[in-house]
Amino acid sequence: MRSVFDEKRAARRGVALGAVGLLGLTGCGSADASAEEQVEVPEDAAVEQLSVEVLETFEHDPDSFTQGLQLAEHPEYGNVFYESAGLYGESDARIVDPGTGEVLASQDLPADQFAEGLTLTDTDVWQITWQEGVAHRRDPVSLDIVETVQYEGEGWGICFDGERLVMSDGSSTLTFRDPVTFEETGTVEVTLDGEPVYQINELECVGGQVWANLWQTDQIVRIDPATGEVGAVVDAAGLLPEEDAANADVLNGIAAGAEEGTFFLTGKHWPKLFLVRFTTA
């Protein structure tokens, strides 16, 4: 039996290409010309090099072009993932069962908006868009849009550190924003051993640090938001088994787990989601 979500998804796909052509296939955003595919850690740099230990594996919707992921408590469904799924004509905000990958609730974006990162504050869900310059403040229970605000530039990833929003735009800059008004309050440049780090994508704020996927790579970096310095680089290559990778896109989606030091990782069109721990390589 098809669920209401499946019916909504089929209807979205029916209008997606006619509404906006093939723009959504270009990916997350326009990469900086200075960007390299992988960051290299100099031998004498004071940067931790970490690998991934898989603790558990879960099902994930392979049709989700995952842009943002966060574990949180929902008053009706209990422990859930809030997830943002992208692509023109297919973008939505959704609430997902962590154990099964089932979509419990979702709200579509207009067909001409490409959803990017998503995060929860103490009272709201903020979801950003790629090139449309709009952010939606949503009710965390229903996912209904409460307010829509505008911002300059592209939107890639976003997280909440308990006091402020931290947002990426694919460059080497992180932008800080007020969690109520979304107004910009400051910026910091991200560097590794003094060199700028580009392609900063999906973000997770935890323990006073910002963990970030680097777009088009299997790397995750840990950033000190006070200085912008990268203190650790995680190599997550090979996380998705080869038999599952044929129709999958890049690693993208990081959420802090319930147990300290654990994270959930997935990717765009990945059929699996992993509970992991980062360990010394």
pLDDT for 246 equals 83
Block residue for tokens 């090139």: 131
The CATH number given to whatever domain includes residue 86 is 2.130.10.10
Sign of the CA dihedral running 152, 95, 275, 9: negative
Q: For 208-227, how does the pLDDT look when each residue is reduced to its tens digit (9 = 90+)?
A: 999 999 999 999 999 999 99
- What pLDDT does 244 receive? 87
Residues in contact with 169: Cβ distance below 8 Å, sequence separation at least 6, in sequence order: 29, 153, 154, 155, 156, 175
Residue 19 in domain: no
- pLDDT reported for residue 40: 75
pLDDT of residue 41: 74
pLDDT at residue number 15:
39
Domain range for 193: 46-280
**pLDDT the model gives residue 106:** 95
Measured CA distances, 112 to 28, 69, 205, 235 (Å): 15, 22, 29, 35
175 in any annotated domain: yes
Residue at 63 is within a domain: yes
DSSP of 256-277? E-SSTTEEEEEETT-SEEEEEE
Q: Is residue 26 part of a domain?
A: no
- Domain assignment present for residue 1? The answer is no
* Residue found under tokens 């030091």: 261
Number of domains observed in the structure of the chain: 1
Low-confidence ranges of the chain (pLDDT < 50): 1-2, 4-5, 7-27, 29-36
Whether 201 maps to a domain, the answer reads: yes
SS3 167: strand
In angstroms, rounded to a whole number, what is the distance separating the alpha carbons of residues 92 and 143?
10
pLDDT, tens digit, for every residue of 33-50?
A: 334 468 777 776 788 899
